[in-house]
Structure 1
Amino acid sequence: MSESAASQGRGPASNAAETARDEMDLLPDVDVAAGRARAITELAVRVGELALSSGSSAARTESLVRRVAHAYGLPVQLDVTYSRILLSYEPLGAATPITIMRSVASNQTDYDRLERVEGLVTLVRHGEVDVETATARLNHIVAAPFSHPRWFTRLAACLLGATIALLIGGNGADMAVGAVSTLLVDEARRRLERWSLGSFFTTAVCAAIPTTLAVLALAVQHWAPTWLPRMDPSLVIAAGMVSLLAGMGTVAAAGDAIDGSFLGAGARTMEVVVTTGGIVLGLVTTLWLGRALGVTTQLEPTASQTPNHLLQLACSGLVALCFGVRFMMRAKTLATTTVLGLLLWTSYLAAAWVTGSHPARVAIAALAVGFVARLLVHRLHIPLVALTSTAVAALMPGVMLYRGVFAITDETPVDATWLLLGATYVAVGLAAGTSFGAMLAALLLYRRRDVDTTERFALVEQAHG
């Protein structure tokens, strides 16, 4: 078989695999001057450090670091986990090898900064900037202020709490208290992290805030006039718990496991366990104090949603928008993730015609979001993780985790086991759906590129007679 016939026989998956090998395989062994090699490795590691701390996955971070090193002709050995980057370069001669290891702390998720880093890597990959210029631009990205002022992110936190309360069936009073609860949780977490308090105790204090507001609401409603609107304290707690991002950590852990980063998945799973333990501590302590003060704390959470489908759709878009603001997205990315949030809930409602299983419906909705997000990334050059992680926020299992935690505190281990297992199923469905949808879109793009290439070669052959 001729070479051209063999090329025509290859499918899109084969071409995609060849493209990946061309980009990611080690370059031929070359010697690079020690000073230049040091500058390249330092730049590559700093790119990975900034990407990982800004919210990128371990697999994506490894891809970015390799692209920087390979673009400047440096073959490297690389290992990236949830919180560590290890890079090594071994020259051919007797020169001393270069090995760099960085521990990466999880800072404020900043998808605008991640987008800038990926844009810089694209310039490096296309040979448009040298090492010195790339380093200067990276320094500028690091020193740049956040995209949104603090008051704007506070407003987004209030809107998030109110929207979550409305989505799970709350009234105006629930929305108002939920907004205050989420704002207080957000402020407390920022201050406690600034004081370097451990994540377990930070989560415990933050979990105690909405629970305290719920206990106070119960006490006030006992003495308040009957004409005042009544609140469901469990909705206030649920709205505050969602803002703690335990559900997002569960989805991230499942995503790392699907991507093959098992060390990262294990670390994120342990983070979810610690976060859940902090929630249990804060919840149990506050309920115990409430009962000691004579407040009847019947705070069993409900599992209902607002029955209005249009209202559910609007809430899904608003949740994606609020998370996008909190994660420092710019206007273009905010608009895109809001549209994807609307697509998520539309697909979730449409999936009811196919299956009545909640995890299955979630997976179908996530697949639609992952597919469309990957197509938009190709056009808009936005990090895929930024779109998928915020667009699916309305279906993250934060409320389910809270219900499972409450079942633990209420000494009903069987119910708690099923609820926590259901939350895990939902997290896996979100992670697997977005990953598989993005993979399908990538195969479609590779096939379209192959068709374009074939047509271009045909035109060239025709022109040459």
Structure 2
Amino acid sequence: MFESVSRAVGSLWWRLLRNGSPDDTSDEPDDVLITAQEHERVILHVLDLATRLGDAMLSVGASAHEVTVASTRAARAYGLTDVHVVVTYNSLSVSFQQGEDEWPATVMRVVKWDAPDHSKLQALQELLYRIEGGLDLGLARARLRRIRRTRFPYRSGAVVAASALLAMGVSVMFGASAVVMAVTFVAALMAAIVQATLARTGLPLFFNQVAGGFVVTLVAVGVTAAGDLGVEMFTDVRPSIIVASGIMMMLAGMSAVGATQDAIDGFAVTASGRILDVMMRTLGVVIGILLGLQLGVVMGTVVPLLPTALPFGSVPQQLVGAAVVSAAAALTNGGRLKTILVSGILGAVTMVGFAIATAFGLDMATASGVGALTSSFVGGVAAQRLHIPAIAVTTAAIIPLVPGVAIFRGLLGIVQAEGAFDGLVIGGNALVIAAITAVALAAGVSFGLYMATPVRSTLRRVSQARVGLHH
């Protein structure tokens, strides 16, 4: 009796291990007798693959919900239909229990956060599709190891230049002049070079942010001093745009939006970790800017920073600036050429939705949510047709509206208030607006992708039907 059951289990697991499908028996041996140890070894290999896949996705920018779904799908493809996935900010575990009387098998990995790399994320998603298509377990594990060792697709010089271009795009959105755009690009380029240099030393990111904020502010101080001395080129320069553009480059606000999206999806621990991360990054920028401002005061130059939000420029300036910002963000996130082009277009789509919403009298946060919903819906449908990760294009598309500057204004107001009630109220109000905007953006992205899902399914069925008719 035991031998017959063992042969049946062994036959099933041999087919799963060799071909990924229990229906294919072409290479099945005539005599398979699997032991309990071999059975457990295969289960651990499947759990290890699912855990490493989720770990790799989470470390390069995927949301906690995406990681949970991917790990579950990978395990199901090899016969583990009821796994339990737990995602926190810095750890991931996948468990499987064969029966009520059996001990569960669990694999856990510590997540080492890396810079977003959407080309690697795309490769991981393609691997998941191959796994569900019947890829051999051993080949899947080997390909995953190869993908994890893949280097970032662009050199550091290209990333630095793209970061400066992102900041210049922000200045275009604010209606900056050609001089301000040029100064913004130079300031952001200097800050990005300093940050890239410090990153090679292994210095914590907090201090990199301090250095970046300090460098950007020094440029703003220098431009203000030149204007005060009567240099005609800099007399009408608004230093607030230079500082705000640098902030957007260093923060891009995506940690706040990603944290909010994780909170909406029910991953409170991961959301809390990301919120703390964005707060520390922003505090680093605030400290760097305060140091730069204090140095300016010592030198006799006071940089006027607007206590209120900077107004956007004309609609054409918003569209062009948003396209530049989103395309540059896609490059810094490691997106391929197709992803960069689509992200630039979707950045403009985001601003179109935002402009239409504001034309109907909606407030900033609600209009931002409408813009995010519009671009995520279009991006979700386009991603299916173009075979690119939806998260890559939607992430870059909403960067023009993320509340990085609002978070900075709130923290800066609280720091400069020095306990004064009015200052605390103004700073707190800016932080509340930033939080509401982040929630609106995350909700818009989530709902837009949700709405795009049935459309993608319909288009896929139509495409398959056309292929069938063609054949």
Do these two structures clear the TM 0.5 threshold for a shared fold by scoring above it? Answer: yes
Q: Equivalent residues in 2 for 1:28-67 (5 A)?
A: 33-67=39-73
1:135 to 131, 136, 141: 141
1:120 to 115, 127, 144: 127
2:299 to 290, 293, 312: 293
Q: Offset at 1:166?
A: 2.0
Matched with 2:430 is 419
Q: Equivalent residues in 2 for 1:306-321 (5 A)?
A: 306-321=312-327
2:327–2:343: 8 Å Cα contact kept in structure 1? yes
What SS does structure 1 have at the residue aligned with 2:108?
Answer: strand
- Describe the superposition over 1:96-133 as per-residue Cα deviations: whole angstroms up to 9, x where unpaired: 75432211122110001000100000110121x10111
Matched with 2:281 is 275
Determine if the alignment matches structure 1 residue 204 to structure 2 residue 193: no
2:53–2:144: 8 Å Cα contact kept in structure 1? yes
Distance 2:388 2:49 in 1: 22
Matched with 1:438 is 449
User: What code does the residue aligned with 1:266 have?
Assistant: S
2:194 to 171, 188, 191: 188
Structure 1 residues 203, 217: CA separation in 2 closer, same or farther (over 3 Å shift)? same
Determine if the alignment matches structure 1 residue 362 to structure 2 residue 373: no
Matched with 1:151 is 157
| Worse-superposed segment, 271-280 or 425-434 | 271-280
Distance 1:449 1:294 in 2: 65
Q: Equivalent residues in 2 for 1:201-280 (5 A)?
A: 201-226=207-232, 230-245=236-251, 247-280=253-286
Matched with 1:330 is 336
Matched with 1:16 is none
Matched with 1:88 is 95
Distance 1:105 1:355 in 2: 44
| Worse-superposed segment, 46-55 or 229-238 | 229-238
| Worse-superposed segment, 338-347 or 89-98 | 89-98
What SS does structure 2 have at the residue aligned with 1:244?
Answer: helix
Distance 1:175 1:112 in 2: 30
Matched with 2:109 is 102
1:348–1:365: 8 Å Cα contact kept in structure 2? yes
Q: Give ranges in structure 1 of 5+ residues lacking alignment.
A: 1-30, 457-465
Structure 1 residues 273, 144: CA separation in 2 closer, same or farther (over 3 Å shift)? closer
What SS does structure 2 have at the residue aligned with 1:289?
Answer: helix
Structure 1 residues 297, 317: CA separation in 2 closer, same or farther (over 3 Å shift)? closer
Determine if the alignment matches structure 1 residue 78 to structure 2 residue 85: yes
Distance 1:188 1:349 in 2: 36
Q: Offset at 1:342?
A: 1.5
Q: Offset at 1:212?
A: 1.7
Distance 1:227 1:51 in 2: 48
1:49–1:85: 8 Å Cα contact kept in structure 2? yes
- Describe the superposition over 1:139-180 as per-residue Cα deviations: whole angstroms up to 9, x where unpaired: 221232322233322221221121112211322222122112
User: What code does the residue aligned with 1:349 have?
Assistant: A
Determine if the alignment matches structure 1 residue 353 to structure 2 residue 364: no
Distance 1:382 1:217 in 2: 42
What SS does structure 2 have at the residue aligned with 1:328?
Answer: coil
C-alpha RMSD of the superposition: 2.7
What SS does structure 2 have at the residue aligned with 1:88?
Answer: strand
Distance 2:104 2:444 in 1: 42
- Describe the superposition over 1:360-382 as per-residue Cα deviations: whole angstroms up to 9, x where unpaired: 11111111112112212332232
Q: Offset at 1:51?
A: 0.6
| Worse-superposed segment, 362-371 or 166-175 | 166-175
TM-score (norm 2): 0.83
What SS does structure 2 have at the residue aligned with 1:147?
Answer: coil
What SS does structure 1 have at the residue aligned with 2:232?
Answer: coil
User: What code does the residue aligned with 1:415 have?
Assistant: I
- Describe the superposition over 1:188-227 as per-residue Cα deviations: whole angstroms up to 9, x where unpaired: 3333344333333332222222112212222233335335
* Matched length: 426
User: What code does the residue aligned with 1:276 have?
Assistant: T
1:388 to 374, 381, 394: 394
What SS does structure 2 have at the residue aligned with 1:310?
Answer: helix
Q: Offset at 1:184?
A: 2.8
2:174 to 150, 168, 171: 168
Distance 1:82 1:385 in 2: 19
2:123–2:147: 8 Å Cα contact kept in structure 1? yes
Determine if the alignment matches structure 1 residue 428 to structure 2 residue 439: yes
Kindly, what percent of the aligned residue pairs are identical? 30
| Worse-superposed segment, 190-199 or 424-433 | 190-199
Structure 1 residues 190, 49: CA separation in 2 closer, same or farther (over 3 Å shift)? farther
Structure 1 residues 355, 226: CA separation in 2 closer, same or farther (over 3 Å shift)? closer
User: What code does the residue aligned with 2:388 have?
Assistant: I
Determine if the alignment matches structure 1 residue 372 to structure 2 residue 383: no
Distance 1:451 1:335 in 2: 26
Structure 1 residues 228, 351: CA separation in 2 closer, same or farther (over 3 Å shift)? closer
Distance 1:366 1:114 in 2: 22
1:161–1:180: 8 Å Cα contact kept in structure 2? no
Matched with 1:20 is none
1:165–1:175: 8 Å Cα contact kept in structure 2? yes
Matched with 2:350 is 344
Q: Offset at 1:229?
A: 5.6
Structure 1 residues 239, 228: CA separation in 2 closer, same or farther (over 3 Å shift)? closer
Distance 1:418 1:280 in 2: 17
Q: Give ranges in structure 2 of 5+ residues lacking alignment.
A: 1-35, 418-422, 467-471
Structure 1 residues 166, 446: CA separation in 2 closer, same or farther (over 3 Å shift)? closer
Distance 1:187 1:68 in 2: 40
Distance 1:90 1:404 in 2: 48
Matched with 1:13 is none
